[in-house]
Structure 1
C-alpha cells in the first residue's frame, strides 16, 4: 500500500488542462524549476526517476509534488546502479526537457511571450538531445 501526501490540484496534466487559460509565463517557469529542483535533489541522493511524466506529478497549492520515483527503489540495491548512474541521470534530464516542452505546447499564452521564450526553448531542446552526454546536467 502507498500513502501519499494530500494534494488539492490533481495531476500536472489535469491542472494544465483545466487552468491553461489562467497560467502565466512565470507559472510555467516556476513549475519547470520545481521539477528540475526535485530531480536534482533525487540525483544528489543517488536516486534516479526513469519514469517522470505529467500523470505522476501532482499539484498542491500551485506547487509541484512528485508522486512516483520510477525505478529508484528497484535500482537502489544493485551494484550496476552506480555503473550506469550517469546515463540514468541523463535520462531524467531528457524527461525534464520533455515535460518543459509539453508545458510550453499546452499553454496558449506562450506565443505572446517574446524575450525569454527563446532561452526556455533552448533549454528543453538541449535536454532532448539524442546523445545523452550532450544533454546538460540537471
Structure 2
C-alpha cells in the first residue's frame, strides 16, 4: 500500500509493460470518472495516486487528495487563475501561464504520469523545480520519451502533453 511514486521506486526493476498498461488503465478510468462528474483534480501527480495490493495479489489503484478538486462549472466562471498550486513537473503549460484549470490540464498531468511509469523517474528530476523550469515547460520542454516505449504508448503520452489543450484527447478518448 502507498502512493504511485513509492510503488515505482520500489518496483522499478520489475515494472513490466503489462503492469504499466494495467496501472495506466486504472488511472485513466479513475480520471475519466472524475471528469464525468464534471470535476477537475487540479493537482494530479503520482503522489496523489494510491495503490494497494490485496492478499490475493490484485493491485487496486485510485486517485486521492481531492482537496484542490474543483467543479468544472465553477472554473468556467473564473477569468484567470490567480494562484498556481501543484508540482511544477506535472502542471500543464496553460496553468503555468495562469490560465484556468481544465479537464485538459488533468489530461496533461496524466500524460506526465504515463511517462513517469515508463521512465521510473520523477519528471524533470534532473533540474531545479523553479521559475526557469516553468518557462521551459511553457516554451515546450517535455521529458524525453524512453527508448523502447511502444510507439502507440509514446503517441498517447505525447498527445496528452500537447501544448494546445484543445488538441489533447479527453479521458473518454483515452
Q: TM-score, normalised by structure 1?
A: 0.77
Q: From 86, 92, 95, give the equivalent of 2:106.
A: 92
**Which 4+ residue blocks in structure 1 deviate beyond 3 angstroms?**
110-113
Match of 1:65 among 27, 51, 62: 62
Deviation string for 1:114-134 (max 9, x for gaps)?
Answer: xxx110000010000011001
Q: Secondary structure, in 3 states, of the residue corresponding to 2:50?
A: strand
Match in the other structure for 1:19: 11
| 2:27 is aligned with 1:35 | yes
Highest RCO, 1 vs 2 (Cα 8 Å, sep ≥ 6) = 1
| Matched residue SS, 2:112 | helix
Q: Which runs of 5+ in 1 are unaligned?
A: 1-8
Once the two structures are superposed, residues 20-75 of structure 1 have per-residue CA deviations (whole angstroms, 9 ceiling, x without a partner) of 11121011011111111101001111111010111111111122121112522xx3
Number of residue pairs the alignment of both structures matches: 121
Superposition TM-score, scaled by structure 2 size = 0.62
| Cα contact 1:48–1:69 (8 A) shared by 2 | no
Cα 1:70/1:118, change in 2 over 3 Å: farther
* Aligned residues of 1:52 and 1:70 also touching (Cα < 8 A): no
Unaligned runs of 5+ in 2: 54-58, 79-99, 122-145
Out of 148, 162, 168, the residue aligned to residue 129 of structure 1 is: 162
- Give the distance between the partners of 2:31 and 2:21, measured in 1 at CA: 15
